[in-house]
Structure 1
Amino acid sequence: MIDMIKSYHKTKSEYQLFITGSNVFDDVKGVVDIKTGEESYPIKAYQNGVSALIDKYRAFIIGNLKSIHRHVSRGYMHQYKNLTFSEYFIALENFKSYIIDSDETKISKISYGFSVPTKIAGKDLIKMNILMHKLNYYNHNKKNKKNTELKEFEYTNHTICVYASKKGLGLENYLRVNLTLNKSLDLKKIGVITVSDLVNKEKLKLLFDLFMLRFNDIIIVDNYENVKGKDKISLDKYLSNRYWESFNTQNGRKAKYREKTKLHALILKHNLNKEKLNIESELRKAFSVFISN
């Protein structure tokens, strides 16, 4: 399910006139030279989950679909609830009303993810079992977010993060997996180019496949306190904080691949992938519910 869309209008001056010369946005802010009446940048606008930012060169439109849905439905929405396709469609249509031409407005960034139930507390999974992504450790563990446990793996083209609530209210056994595509390259490969493409269910399925590809790179290992002997020593080594950094040279790639193969063999040998398989199954269920409702 798409949470956030960032797009840009092909003609900045046209969109600038659209938001400053009409009543599309109630809240429009910019700086005007009192003597000349000339506008300076940035120009910012916000309304009901939709924001616009115009700088010297481009006009960006950003939509938070959950916020838009809350505005449209005028009701409370559980923070771990996934939208259905029909709710998503209505929110997307509302977002498109802030755009001049959704068939021409190109997507530059999206955030995509699902909340799923877990067998143990989501915050404990993140702290103890969600360890690496492609053998890389997290870039951020945002402990400053008081009520959220979060790990984030950041790359040039995408960021994948997992987070869960630390507090009660029935949220303990939930986990959110989120993929942000920071550039349009991966989207173009599956034919998602403009905002209008985001209502095509076939393209949304391809987007989910890409999401699952990134998810499957997360290394999630069950608690292995019952593993003994050499296998326990090897797991401790493979899952230690800095072990894999020693292979980050051109000459170390083959050795790193061999060690990675041994790690995955140990996980399978001792059946330490139950939590990951459960999350994967729940993510597939969540997408099925989303796309069929």
Structure 2
Amino acid sequence: MIDFVKILYKDKSEFEPYVNDPDNFPELIQVLERHSGEIRYPHKTNLETMDVVIAQKYGYIKNSLHKLYNYLVYRENANYNDFTYSNLCESIEYLGMNLPDIAFTGITQLEFGFNICVSKPAEQIIRENVLMHKYKNYNHNKQYDGKGELKRFDHSNYLVKIYDKAKQYSKEFDIHHNILRFEIRHTRRRDLNDLGVFNLNDLRNKDNLQRLFENAIMRFDKMQIIDSILEESIEPEDFQKLIRFKNPEYWQEEIKEKSGTFKMRRRNEFNALIEKYSLNSTKNELRRLLIEKFNHLINN
């Protein structure tokens, strides 16, 4: 569920001396201006896998709560496994014991996502079946480490990412094969606040997690994910339409100057063809798996 978070100390009056205390953080990286001997910002350190930073006007911590838990329990800096509600609460508890007033300090970014085991290689689904989000092409399709298939769709206040999680960690065990990850990164505090999330403590509230999930499913439903098309099983005229509708350039360039009514008719026509030829089994399976995984995680 919850993965990356960024937590901002707008008032760093307590945070900065706490981080600068060597009893709390034995190692602290600072910037030294050589000629004057002046210590400049930022000051950086780590709490296990979490980045801890003091800037000139504020302080923050960021990174994956999921990875933090795995590092504390298994000494593994990874997040391919399940991260349950009880695991989340333990991670929040740990941060609360090691940072000042962290549970009530504002969250400014948050990732909410799931690892699901799919019936065929995740990279195949992403490459062949995941087409668009809100009829727009992906903005990025490269993993930071170059492993696996990824498609990321950028919007002004959130990102949608879908990628091959098993390939990211090069897992060889059968239980980790075909792991697909779907996640939403909220990049505006206001949107999180609208969902009931102001700080880490709010993530203990299952109603807030339910709202985050409903938001994620709403974003998922706006993805264009269709099954592979076999030309011989589709009427020629419909096949040509499907090829046209599958192309993001059609929506972003060819008809961008058309009226809203025209675009809506084309979308309805695309959806009707998907229904006519039952091309939504992949999307339906992914949706079902996301719901099942959320129910499992929040109840454990």
How many residues in Structure 1 have an aligned counterpart in Structure 2?
A: 292
Q: Which moved more, 1:26-35 or 1:219-228?
A: 26-35
Partner Cα distance (1:233, 1:163) in 2: 29
Which amino acid letter does the alignment assign opposite residue 284 of structure 1?
A: I
Q: SS in structure 2 opposite 1:178?
A: strand
TM-score by length of 1: 0.92
Q: State the 1:83 CA deviation.
A: 1.0
Distance verdict in 2 for CA 1:57–1:252, change over 3 Å: farther
Match of 2:288 in 1: 281
Match of 2:47 in 1: 47
Task: Answer whether contact 1:9 1:104 (CA < 8 A) is retained.
Answer: no
User: 1:1-293, aligned counterparts within 5 Å?
Assistant: 1-33=1-33, 38-76=38-76, 79-142=79-142, 145-164=145-164, 165-166=166-167, 169=172, 170=174, 171-225=176-230, 226-245=233-252, 246-249=254-257, 251-293=258-300
Q: State the 1:42 CA deviation.
A: 1.1
Q: CA offsets per residue over residues 101-120 of structure 1, 9 Å max, x none?
A: 13530000011110111121
Which amino acid letter does the alignment assign opposite residue 162 of structure 1?
A: I
Which amino acid letter does the alignment assign opposite residue 281 of structure 1?
A: R
Partner Cα distance (2:196, 2:282) in 1: 33
Q: Which moved more, 1:16-25 or 1:114-123?
A: 16-25
Partner Cα distance (2:104, 2:79) in 1: 32
RMSD: 2.1
Which amino acid letter does the alignment assign opposite residue 259 of structure 2?
A: G
Which amino acid letter does the alignment assign opposite residue 163 of structure 1?
A: Y
Q: State the 1:21 CA deviation.
A: 2.1
Q: State the 1:36 CA deviation.
A: 6.5
Partner Cα distance (2:203, 2:177) in 1: 32
TM-score by length of 2: 0.90
Q: Which moved more, 1:223-232 or 1:21-30?
A: 21-30
Partner Cα distance (1:107, 1:76) in 2: 25
Task: Answer whether contact 1:159 1:179 (CA < 8 A) is retained.
Answer: yes
* Structure 2: segments with no counterpart, 5+ residues: none
Partner Cα distance (1:33, 1:75) in 2: 36
Partner Cα distance (1:145, 1:78) in 2: 13
Partner Cα distance (1:143, 1:227) in 2: 35
Task: Answer whether contact 1:163 1:175 (CA < 8 A) is retained.
Answer: yes
Q: CA offsets per residue over residues 4-61 of structure 1, 9 Å max, x none?
A: 1101013123211110025333332112457866431111111311111222222111
Distance verdict in 2 for CA 1:63–1:143, change over 3 Å: closer
Task: Answer whether contact 1:5 1:63 (CA < 8 A) is retained.
Answer: yes
Which amino acid letter does the alignment assign opposite residue 283 of structure 1?
A: L
Partner Cα distance (1:99, 1:144) in 2: 29
Task: Answer whether contact 1:31 1:43 (CA < 8 A) is retained.
Answer: yes
Task: Answer whether contact 2:150 2:161 (CA < 8 A) is retained.
Answer: yes
Q: State the 1:256 CA deviation.
A: 1.3
Distance verdict in 2 for CA 1:77–1:275, change over 3 Å: farther
Q: State the 1:216 CA deviation.
A: 1.1
Q: SS in structure 2 opposite 1:162?
A: strand
